[in-house]
Amino acid sequence: MTILTIDLGTQSVRAAFVNKIGHIDSITQLKQEVDSPYDGWAQQQPKKWWNLTKRAIQQLLEKTKIEAKSIQGIGVCGQMHGPVGIDGNGEITTKWTQIWCDKRCENICDLIKKDYDEQD
């Protein structure tokens, strides 16, 4: 049994083939950058996520000579809190997405926390 796994992480995208007992048979990893144009900002481009994911899968297929039609399952995991807009045609509409470690709204969060703490 061949299962394709995809991990969209903050610093890389990985694709791997895992066998029925959970052993990683082969893996590819492509580095990606976090854009931080200002202090506290952390953002990435969802289109780059998609392109890196496709490249990682393609490299894995080429490396292992496994045919895509023989894949029996797919597992996907990824970073959290990164909203991405998609239009009616399935196209990504979000140019930049704030990722989990972005801190540009930290002051607003502090105000909400202070207000909440004062209500106790």
pLDDT tens by residue, 18-43: 998 989 999 999 999 999 999 999 99
Q: 75 and 8 in contact (C-beta within 8 Å)?
A: no
- List the chain residues with pLDDT less than 50: none
Q: How far apart are CA 106 and CA 87, in angstroms?
A: 30
**What CATH number is associated with residue 49?**
3.30.420.40
User: Which tokens sit at 94?
Assistant: 């979000």
- Structure confidence at residue 118 (pLDDT): 75
User: Which tokens sit at 77?
Assistant: 């995991």
pTM of the model: 0.85
Buried b (16+ CB within 10 A) or exposed e, 106-120: eeeeeeeeeeeeeee
- Structure confidence at residue 120 (pLDDT): 66
Q: Which domain holds residue 102?
A: 3-119
- Structure confidence at residue 117 (pLDDT): 81
Domain count, the chain: 1
